[in-house]
Structure 1
Amino acid sequence: MTLDELNRKFAEVPARHKEVSIIASMDDEPARPSRRLMDIALKAVSVAIDVALPIYEGRASREPHWFDTWPGEHYRLLAALVRTLKPKTVIEIGTFTGMGTLALAQELQPSGTLTTFDLLAWNSFADTWLAPADFSEGRVRQVLHDISTPGGIEPHRALFESADLIFVDGPKDGRTEADILVNLSTLNLSRDAVVVFDDIRVVNMIDIWRRVAQPKMDLTSFGHWSGTGLIDWNGTSDL
């Protein structure tokens, strides 16, 4: 197929937002899901079918209500993962307008905490979903720090090593997520840590995701249309 033919095919797809991607064989993938990861995925998807997200009600953001779309967006799945895993410590890398932050925060256990990292303060975004009250109890906090730089994760080693659930929602620039994976590999993450990566089907993420050697699972059909991937960080591919 010529480039012109590809461009015509791309233009013919009737979608609000389109991106190029790559389809790749699975028989030579470096990692397969673990039985535990499959079980988590099945339970979380079952929960997501009925989960509601009242945490967004009455907020002033003018951003589109992506959280109302499921499947297709990952907000109900994120909330369902927290309800399923019951993590004591949740980490998000990439706060942005806070839509993902709130989905994770809604299902926190009373003793649970959520730390969200970004380079910019949550209240610097005009369409933020967050409010001061979200941080008032101390269970949710934002840290301004670049986790992707060499040694950038070291000041927060203890926090990351205590995390049960880590959600990575970076810029998909072909570099940042790869650097985050390198930094995570220097840590002794908790035995049952689950790492969630956003946008794994975006072209800049294809190679990064494929090179993940831990047990992993593409859960895009039940998450974000641009890709949702789960990693059982210390698991064993036993399927």
Structure 2
Amino acid sequence: MEQALLRTPARHKLESIILSSDDEVWQPTRRLVDLAIRAASRAADISFPDLDSRKAKEPRWYRTWPGEHYRLLAALVADLEALTVIEIGTWTGMGTLSIASALPPGGRVVTFDIVPWNSLKRSWFRQADFADGRIVQHLADVTKPEGMEPYRSLFAEADFIFIDAPKDGVTEQNFIDTLGALTLPKNPIVMFDDTRVLNMIHIWRQLKRPKLDITSFGHWSGTGLVDWNGKAGTRKSLAAE
């Protein structure tokens, strides 16, 4: 595998695994399929003039599509007309600002991290971004039940949840378990980043909810959508009957 990586030219390389689909029983809902098709088409026309106007603190990944997920993020938020978006993992804020650009009037994106945005030298944020309440950062670990407890009512309002956590093989699973214990009446769409990174493959594979891999229109390292409350049929066995 190392030799294959070495002889394949690319700016950034990660090891991954190819897995069969016939024994992956959790299928997407029609809602997910239709949403993905609309959002992929919409993403082709999205631009980010606000980000373009800011001094670059890191490469402008949001301009890359397909390959990066920022235009798809904005397209999904716009298509869903999501009034409450929750992001797990603020980092430099490129994703947060991409989401905010597509919010409808009265919409908000609430981003969670354990590190304040202004402690990062590469942050894309300005203090003014938080003035009108469209962007809010909470410093809390909501991957654990005790951290989630103060925010249960917020998550009950979520239309869209974006998970861009550390990919350490633990944090995302903890969040899935914690989120699964909540009642989410607005039937949110949940988007996972980096689903093809080695530490994430098992977590994505064993997620027992209607889901759809849309990496071709999202992040090169893997993008997946989940219809969190959806009911989907399971794939029929290919075994001879």
Q: Shorter-chain TM-score: which interval?
A: over 0.9
Which residue does the alignment assign to 1:166? 161
Which residue does the alignment assign to 1:223? 218
The answer to whether the aligner puts 1:121 opposite 2:128 as a matched pair is no
Question: How do residues 189-228 of structure 1 correspond to structure 2 at under 5 angstroms?
Answer: 189-228=184-223
Pairing partner for 2:30 from 32, 35, 38: 35
Give the letter aligned to residue 82 of structure 1.
Answer: V
Deviation, 1:55, is 2.1
Give me the whole-angstrom Cα distance separating, in 1, the residues matched to 2:127 and 2:233.
45
Do 2:26 and 2:233's aligned partners in 1 also have CA atoms closer than 8 Å?
no
Deviation, 1:191, is 4.1
Do 1:151 and 1:183's aligned partners in 2 also have CA atoms closer than 8 Å?
no
Do 2:158 and 2:186's aligned partners in 1 also have CA atoms closer than 8 Å?
no
Give me the whole-angstrom Cα distance separating, in 1, the residues matched to 2:206 and 2:107.
32
Give the letter aligned to residue 91 of structure 2.
Answer: F
Give me the whole-angstrom Cα distance separating, in 2, the residues matched to 1:18 and 1:49.
25
Deviation, 1:40, is 0.5
Deviation, 1:153, is 1.4
The answer to whether the aligner puts 1:20 opposite 2:10 as a matched pair is no
Give me the whole-angstrom Cα distance separating, in 2, the residues matched to 1:107 and 1:173.
29
Runs of at least 5 residues in structure 1 that lack an aligned partner in the other structure: 1-5
TM-score, normalising length from structure 1? Answer: 0.95
Deviation, 1:147, is 1.2
Deviation, 1:238, is 4.7
Deviation, 1:190, is 2.5
TM-score, normalising length from structure 2? Answer: 0.94
Pairing partner for 2:47 from 23, 38, 52: 52
Pairing partner for 2:71 from 64, 70, 76: 76
Which residue does the alignment assign to 2:239? none
Deviation, 1:52, is 1.3
Give me the whole-angstrom Cα distance separating, in 2, the residues matched to 1:13 and 1:166.
34
Give the letter aligned to residue 179 of structure 1.
Answer: N
Q: Deviations over 1:60-102 (max 9, x none)?
A: 2320010010000000000000110001110000000000000
Do 2:156 and 2:186's aligned partners in 1 also have CA atoms closer than 8 Å?
no
The answer to whether the aligner puts 1:94 opposite 2:86 as a matched pair is no
Greater displacement, 22-31 / 166-175? 22-31
Deviation, 1:137, is 0.4
Runs of at least 5 residues in structure 2 that lack an aligned partner in the other structure: 235-241
Deviation, 1:162, is 0.9
Look up the SS of the partner of 1:107 in the other structure.
Answer: coil
Q: Deviations over 1:165-212 (max 9, x none)?
A: 000000000000000000000101134210000000000000000111
Greater displacement, 75-84 / 60-69? 60-69
Do 1:74 and 1:224's aligned partners in 2 also have CA atoms closer than 8 Å?
yes
Q: Deviations over 1:139-183 (max 9, x none)?
A: 211000011124321210010111000000000000000000000
Aligned length: 234
